[in-house]
Amino acid sequence: MAIEKFPVEAGHIMMFARAVGDDNKIYYDEAYAKTTEVGSIIAPPTFVQASAQFDPDYRLRPKIGEPWFGSGKEPTGVQQSSGGGGTGLHAEQHYEYHRHPKPSDVLTATSRPGQTWERQGRRSGKLIFSETITEYRDQHGELVVTARGVGVRTERPVEQS
């Protein structure tokens, strides 16, 4: 995956901060932000996850004119061979901040696969883990955030205890 252009915008930061229940003025009040140590609005620590908005191929966003696997007339909009199969879930997420993104930054993101491993889960059958490392760089090519995500695919839905 590569994202060629992830413009960091103040309105997007405000909406993201609201979604994670954070009313800190550093995320929306520019006049206040100027009086602080950081000197400008900055993005909350998990904001780079929203780069998905700028990934043209992101598969968890409905695409215009294409069937979507969520419900409409039917419980799913795509053909499924059998219901109740496994689910792709997020297992881990790690961030290293070289600095914190701010409005006017235009980031790029390049990802490469890391390790893959398997484990037998107690509540969901065989688990296949796969790691992705993503580097977010700014308009000057400087590294801003390094992210390492681990996804897991389960054999069947996670049993609820």
Partner 1 sequence: MALSARQLKVGDTHSEQVVDNLTRTQVVQYAGASGDYNPIHTDEVYTTKVAGYPSVFAHGMLTMGLTGTMLTNYVGDGRLTKFGVRFTKQVWPGDALTAKATVEAIREEGGQQFVDLQLSTVNQNGEEVLSGYASARIDP
Residues found near partner 1 in the complex (CB under 8 A): 12, 15-16, 18-22, 24, 26, 36-38, 42, 44-46, 49-50, 52-53, 55, 58, 60-62, 69-71, 75-76, 80, 83-85, 87, 89-97, 100, 148, 156-158, 160
Tokens linked to 14: 């405000």
Q: What is the signed CA dihedral for 153, 113, 46, 68, rounded to 10 degrees?
A: -50
Picking from 55, 38, 157, the residue whose alpha carbon sits closest to that of residue 100 is 38
In the bound state with partner 1, the residue whose beta carbon lies nearer, of 77 and 106, is: 77
Between 132 and 156, whose beta carbon lies closer to partner 1? 156
Calculate the CA dihedral of residues 154, 92, 58, 155 and round it to 10 degrees.
0
Going by the DSSP 8-state scheme, the letter that residue 70 receives in this structure is S
Minimum distance of partner 1 from residue 30's CB (angstroms): 14
CB of 113 to partner 1, least distance (A): 19
* Minimal distance, residue 110 CB to partner 1, in Å: 18
Which of 86, 106 has the CB closer to partner 1?
Answer: 86
- Please state the closest distance from residue 24 (CB atom) to partner 1, in A: 7
Check residue 15 and report its DSSP letter. Answer: H
For residues 13 and 32, give the distance between their C-alpha atoms in angstroms, rounded to a whole number. 15
Dihedral of the alpha carbons of 54, 59, 60, 64, in degrees to the nearest 10: 80
CA distances for 136 relative to 70, 94, 97, 148, angstroms? 30, 13, 10, 11
Smallest gap from residue 95 Cβ to partner 1 (A): 5
